[in-house]
Structure 1
Amino acid sequence: MIRGVRGATTIELDQSELVLEETAKLVQEIAKANNILPDNIISVLISTTPDITSAFPAKAVRSLEGWQYVPTMCMHEMNVPGALPLCIRVLMHVNTDVHQKDIHHVYLNNAVSLRPDLIK
């Protein structure tokens, strides 16, 4: 069965090192929290708020050991007034037998404010 696993994080400044570091940390935390192996990942969609332009977050995913063949795509979020700035969001599609209610979505840094109902 295919499930979507969500996550988000923020960075302090739009610097390529921070984009890559925080993206890698986020996807690794999502995988760890849900016992996901790269071979079980169908695809990873990564969006950033329009104020992030210094790096492609997908580069961080492809650089992880065992993740180089995971299909990954980047895009920008809508530019909505009042949106959380400097935010990186991830939607990972995975093959799993885990029930939807048992999926652990991961929110780090200031992104915890996006879904306080999912923070455990």
Structure 2
Amino acid sequence: MIRGFRGATTVVENKESEIMAETKKLIIEIVEKNNIEPEDISHVLFSVTDDLNAGFPAKVARQMNGWTHVPVMCMREINVPNSLPLCIRVMMVAETELSQNEIHHVFFNEAIKLRPDLTQEEGV
């Protein structure tokens, strides 16, 4: 089965090093919690809010072992008034044996506010 794995995080400042560090942490956690191998990934979409332009979050994937041929793309998040600022979101699509309710979606920092229903399952 092909399924989507969601995640999001925030940064404190619009700095490339911070964008890269938080994105890497997020990707690693999604992959580890869901036992995903690079070969099983169909594609990964990254979105950022308008206040983030210091770096491409997808660049992190190019630096990860085994991710050379994983298709990745960055895009802008819809600029909705009062939405969460400085936010990086990810949608990873991969083959998995997990059922829909077994998938671990990952939210860090202020992005926990986006899906408190999912983060409570993890005891966050």
TM-score (norm 2): 0.95
The sequence identity of aligned pairs, in percent, is: 52
Equivalent residue for 2:72?
72
Secondary structure at the aligned position of 2:112 is classed as: helix
Equivalent residue for 1:92?
92
Q: What is the alpha-carbon distance in structure 2 between the residues aligned to residue 33 and residue 109 of structure 1?
A: 17
Q: What is the alpha-carbon distance in structure 2 between the residues aligned to residue 34 and residue 22 of structure 1?
A: 18
Equivalent residue for 2:29?
29
Equivalent residue for 1:118?
118
Q: What is the alpha-carbon distance in structure 1 between the residues aligned to residue 98 and residue 16 of structure 2?
A: 34
Equivalent residue for 2:8?
8
- CA positional deviation for 1:96: 0.7
Equivalent residue for 1:53?
53
Is 1:105 the counterpart of 2:91? The answer is: no
Aligned length, in residue pairs: 120
Secondary structure at the aligned position of 1:4 is classed as: strand
1:41-71 Cα offsets, whole Å, 9 max, x none, are 1100000001100001110111111112110
Q: What is the alpha-carbon distance in structure 2 between the residues aligned to residue 97 and residue 33 of structure 1?
A: 13
Secondary structure at the aligned position of 2:92 is classed as: strand
Secondary structure at the aligned position of 1:90 is classed as: strand
* Code of the aligned partner of 1:48: V
- CA positional deviation for 1:2: 0.4
Gaps of 5+ in 2: none
TM-score (norm 1): 0.98
1:81-120 Cα offsets, whole Å, 9 max, x none, are 1100000000000001110011000000110010000011
Secondary structure at the aligned position of 2:26 is classed as: helix
Gaps of 5+ in 1: none
CA RMSD of aligned residues (A): 0.6
